[in-house]
Structure 1
Amino acid sequence: MTPILEETLHELGGKIKLFKLNVDKNPQASLQFGVRSIPHFILFKNGKILWKKGGYMTKRELLQSLRGFV
């Protein structure tokens, strides 16, 4: 998913930043945010969750999901 994520974020003009978290090394975070599948996407703004989705997405699906927030 990394190449798709990077392309998508580039197309959105850098308005969204990407941070990755290894849930195997940070199990508390996966519990805190309800991560049940990998990959799992969570969009935060000012510390609040705006959107989250688990599972693989195509670039088109990811762009459609994120465009509403930029």
Structure 2
Amino acid sequence: METKEKFSDIIKGDKPVLVDFFATWCGPCKSQAPILDNLKSTLQDEVTILKIDVDKNPKAAAAYQVQGVPTLILFKNGQIKWRQSGVANIAQLQQVIKNAR
């Protein structure tokens, strides 16, 4: 339960939070990972990036109706500002985060 509470506290913040719902067996998820690493090193503290393994956290995946992986959801102040299933490139993610600020 503690993890769920921490998650809800994190997504309620002022800073945009990009959540990557993924699975270890998912090929496209593996190609999304370095894009997110690059995004984090580019934007530094402007965004929080969380990775949630849908196989280990089925309740979190169900709570946000995650049907396929990867699914990316951007939260700000506890609200969903953007979501996409499938791999997103860095330019698209930077624009989405910039628009959410």
Asked whether the 8 Å contact 1:39–1:54 carries over to 2, the reply is yes
Question: How has the CA–CA distance of structure 1 residues 46 and 64 changed in structure 2, closer, same or farther, with 3 Å as cutoff?
Answer: closer
Structure 1: any 5+ residue segments left out of the alignment? Answer: none
Asked whether the 8 Å contact 1:42–1:52 carries over to 2, the reply is yes
- Other-structure match for 1:16: 47
- Other-structure match for 2:62: 31
Matches within 5 A, 1:1-70: 1-70=32-101
Q: Shift of residue 64 of structure 1? A: 2.5
In 2, the alpha carbon distance for the partners of 1:45 and 1:66 equals: 10
Q: Which has the higher contact order (CA 8 A, sep 6+)?
A: 2
TM-score (norm: length of structure 2): 0.60
TM-score (norm: length of structure 1): 0.80
Q: Shift of residue 32 of structure 1? A: 0.9
Partner of 1:21: helix, strand, or coil?
strand
Please identify which structure carries the higher strand content. 2
Fraction of identical pairs, as percent:
34
